[in-house]
Amino acid sequence: NAGVTQTPKFQVLKTGQSMTLQCAQDMNHNSMYWYRQDPGMGLRLIYYSASEGTTDKGEVPNGYNVSRLNKREFSLRLESAAPSQTSVYFCASRTGGGGKLFFGSGTQLSVL
Amino acid sequence: RKEVEQDPGPFNVPEGATVAFNCTYSNSASQSFFWYRQDCRKEPKLLMSVYSSGNEDGRFTAQLNRASQYISLLIRDSKLSDSATYLCVVNFGNEKLTFGTGTRLTIIP
């Protein structure tokens, strides 16, 4: 079972470049999430989608955009990458209504 | 003030000891609560949900205090394998799941 698949695993960008992080889940989950994790900061919510067709800002949405393409896929886009966006990014999903979060394996992004 | 706060530690505890962590949250309307465990450079994994009446899973006990707006995690008879970062998670409603900064625990032989 694939669960939550997140790509790429590693990425190096130059300042100003753009990229999209892809996330897909095969568990028919309603809710999907993007978090970033920095040393000593825990996981901070960037954006989330409570259901197909809806997206909402989390704690740190600035510099990011998201698309809930369909129920399976939730992508995160950096339009103009900045060094402050160097981080580990996690995608997650859950059924909603109390179900546990299932995480992807993370993307290590470095912006030079 | 952060919506979910934890003591970052580190907690260095001898094997076999009991250790407890607290996590405070800012919104009294918060709906559900969880403890996650994260090993170094890995994705977080659910340790246990936290129920209003408190709940236990083996050596782990979770408590919720809505009046004081905190949840706690107690680990008894700690093992070397318990070394990890423990993250509390709060559902503020509408599926917005917010993590605390995490508490780092090291069990010392």
Per-residue pLDDT of chain B (109 residues; tens, 9 = 90+): 678 999 888 899 999 999 999 999 987 777 789 999 999 879 999 999 998 888 999 999 999 999 999 999 999 999 999 999 999 999 887 788 889 999 999 999 9
A34 CB within 8 Å of a chain B CB: no
A56 CB within 8 Å of a chain B CB: yes
What tokens were used for A29? 């989950």
pLDDT in tens, A2-21: 799 999 999 999 999 999 99
d(CA A59, CA A42): 12
Long-range contact pairs involving B63-69 (C-beta distance under 8 Å, separation at least 24): B64/B33, B66/B28, B68/B24, B69/B24, B69/B25, B69/B26, B69/B28, B69/B30
Q: Which of B46, B94, B100 sits opposite A42 (nearest CB)?
A: B100
User: Which of B100, B81, B104, B84 has the alpha carbon at shortest distance from B92?
Assistant: B100
d(CA A92, CA B44): 10
pLDDT of A98 > 70? The answer is no
B80 CB within 8 Å of a chain A CB: no
Q: Which of B8, B34, B96 sits opposite A40 (nearest CB)?
A: B8
3-class state of residue A77 by DSSP? strand
B8 CB neighbours in chain A (<8 A) are 40
The residue in chain A having the minimum alpha-carbon distance to the alpha carbon of residue B100 is A42
The band of A97, judged by pLDDT with boundaries at 50, 70 and 90, is low
CB B54 within 8 A of CB B63: yes
> What confidence score (pLDDT) does residue B31 get?
78
> What confidence score (pLDDT) does residue A86 get?
96
> What confidence score (pLDDT) does residue B108 get?
96
What tokens were used for B12? 């260095």
The band of A39, judged by pLDDT with boundaries at 50, 70 and 90, is confident
Q: What angle do CA B64, B68, B73 make, to 5 degrees?
A: 35
Biggest distance spanned by C-alpha atoms of chain A? 40
> What confidence score (pLDDT) does residue B72 get?
96
B43 CB neighbours in chain A (<8 A) are 90, 103-106
